[in-house]
Amino acid sequence: MDPMNADLPPGARLSVPAYALDRADYAPSAPIAPEGATVSAVAPESPAWDAGIEPGMVVTTVNGSALDDMITWLWESDDDEVDLVVYDPRDQTSTPCTLERYPGEDWGIEFDGAIFDAMRTCVNACVFCFMTMLPPGSRDSLSIRDDDYRLSFLQGNFVTLTNMTDEDVDRVIRLDLSPMNVSLHAVTPAVRRRVMGKNEHRGIEVLERLMDAGIEIHAQIVLCPGINDGEELDRTLAYCEAHEQITSLGIVPLGFTRHQKRFKTSYSDDPDAARQVIEQVRPYQLRALERFGRHTFQMSDEFYLDAGIEVPPASWYDGYPQYYDGIGMIRSYLDDTAALLANHRSRLAAIGRAMAVNGLALAVVSGTSAASTVGNLVEAPELGGTVIAIRNDYFGGNVDVTGLICACDLLEQLPGNLVNVVLILPSVMFNSDGLTLDGYHGDDIRRELERRGARVHIASTMPFELADTLEHALGLCGPGQSVKEQRV
């Protein structure tokens, strides 16, 4: 049906000149809200509260500057007085106000998100782009290709720098937005073009400007067999070695799903190749240690799993600068497990006893790659639980991490009878809206698993957090007490 005439009586049609249908300047029925940061929360008795600011209002300017992102907010509000203009959508008015605070006092205002104008999207065509490997019918939000330098500084996202304007670069340098997380992948232009697409040169140009200005860089390589490995990897490692501003370089293997035709294998299918890469990087690690007292060049956990080699000790991870890139998670988990077993054995035993007395069994869900690591704690005699490794059929390929477990695989592979099972679902499976990657809400999953008899907890499966969850679930903690709080 013609939407323009949808609400008219049968047979009636609006008479609209043809040219008007292409115009974008129709008068809106209500004034358009100005751009700015939508207030999501205001703390009682705070300066923002005193000024009458409420959730849902929009802060449009701060000290006369448009409030376009959290960087502007943090920069402009770093004083004890700040001038705002606040838009109230209820009466469509904009009101100036001044907030004042005591030294060190919080403004008491939270915003929805970190970027308040348009997100910068990527201008690349990476061969390994996960967005091009999604199953048909995936949620639209999964295929948003953000590549916004502001999220590198604010949230640690890796960015390619290929879409930055000169003004953006000037801003990073002027505000000293350091460190930045940068996807490097390769250094030879032809190889970079093959890996990232035709805009690769801008990325290197910007990277070198930032490094010349003293911005610290955490870099990353997604290593694709036959594309940027071998001699090109040596060239990239040498480039990083020559640039002291690059204080860490994370090397992660190509991951691929079954919903593409380009890749059929990666290091996950070739332990020798994984071992060779680990060996190739070692001299760079040792030289960096000698020069700077840090290893700088870091292999992702997957390389060690693929190679069948034990992950190195914590000291090799230089304080885990690339933890959220999957570098050092296994070492950290193993060390936390060892600390928990060494210092809290009796408390873990109390959890195990309470489970047994109540006729309960513990089961913790994991991706297949992390199952044996998580088993070190869950299957220890004190807890006597089981790890249930979920195979990722939704994405297929070599996808095996816990954070990408989908509800369809989970519900399909968990047993039909979960009576008296305390079932821990890793919270990393869910986004901030409580959704899995295939679009199921945690509440619906919980309902289905409770129908099978499980006592479901969506929680972190990190050792201390897991013990904490179990203690609370079993009523073993007094208010304010937890294993985590007693961590040594």
Which residue spans within 4-125 are E strands per DSSP? 37-42, 58-62, 65-66, 81-88, 93-100, 109-111
**Contacting positions for ligand SF4 (CB under 6 A):** 122, 124-126, 129, 131, 145, 147, 160
The whole-angstrom separation of Cα 4 and Cα 9 is 12
Which residue lies nearer to ligand SF4 by CB, 145 or 452? 145
Which residue lies nearer to ligand SF4 by CB, 133 or 274? 133
Which residue lies nearer to ligand SF4 by CB, 126 or 288? 126
Q: Which two tokens stand for residue 342?
A: 């060494």
Name the minimum Å distance from CB 198 to ligand SF4.
Answer: 12
Name the minimum Å distance from CB 196 to ligand SF4.
Answer: 6
Name the minimum Å distance from CB 122 to ligand SF4.
Answer: 3
- Cis (ω within 30 of 0) for the bond into 179? yes
Which residue lies nearer to ligand SF4 by CB, 95 or 199? 199
Which residue lies nearer to ligand SF4 by CB, 126 or 252? 126
Do residues 236 and 227 make contact, with C-beta atoms less than 8 angstroms apart? no
CB burial of residue 448 (10 Å; 0-12, 13-18, 19+): middle
Which residue lies nearer to ligand SF4 by CB, 122 or 184? 122
Name the minimum Å distance from CB 260 to ligand SF4.
Answer: 13
Which residue lies nearer to ligand SF4 by CB, 196 or 421? 196
Place of tokens 């304010």: 480
Name the minimum Å distance from CB 128 to ligand SF4.
Answer: 7
The string of DSSP letters for 91-108 reads TTEEEEEEEE--TT----
Name the minimum Å distance from CB 129 to ligand SF4.
Answer: 3
Considering just the CA atoms, what is the radius of gyration of the chain in Å? 26
What are the phi and psi torsion angles at 390 (to 5°)? Answer: -100, 120
Dihedral angle of Cα 333, 335, 337, 340, to the nearest 10 degrees: -140
The whole-angstrom separation of Cα 148 and Cα 109 is 24
Do residues 282 and 247 make contact, with C-beta atoms less than 8 angstroms apart? no
Name the minimum Å distance from CB 160 to ligand SF4.
Answer: 5
Place of tokens 């003004």: 167
